[in-house]
Amino acid sequence: MIIKSSTSLRNDYNSISNLAHEKEKPVYITKNGEGDLVLMSIDAFEKREAIIDLKEKLLVAEEQRINGDKTTSIDSAYQRIKERIDEKL
């Protein structure tokens, strides 16, 4: 966990920005010794959002499977994807 003070952010933004980009992890910013903000690079944020989105979709799919909703075999799904790709070309 990377923790920096709000004073550090104010006085040395560039080094904290570089740190967030290099480590690709959130930088926790404190104010008066208490947690206040989390700073992260746009790339790290977008990767995190993509992972959350995928996990949500997997959860929905698992719930549908458990509830007995209609499923598709891997071969059938592969064929449908291949057909869609061929249509785009």
Q: Which positions of the chain have pLDDT values less than 50?
A: none
Close Cβ partners of 16 (under 8 Å, ≥ 6 residues apart): 4, 8, 9, 27, 39
pTM: 0.70
The residues spanned by each domain of the chain are 2-40, 44-88
Q: Which CATH class is domain 2-40?
A: alpha beta
Residue 89's pLDDT is what? 78
Residue 72's pLDDT is what? 85
**What whole-number distance in Å separates Cα of residue 76 and Cα of residue 88?**
19
pLDDT tens digits for range 37-60: 999 999 999 999 999 999 999 999
**What whole-number distance in Å separates Cα of residue 58 and Cα of residue 30?**
35
Question: Terminus-to-terminus CA distance in the chain, angstroms?
Answer: 46
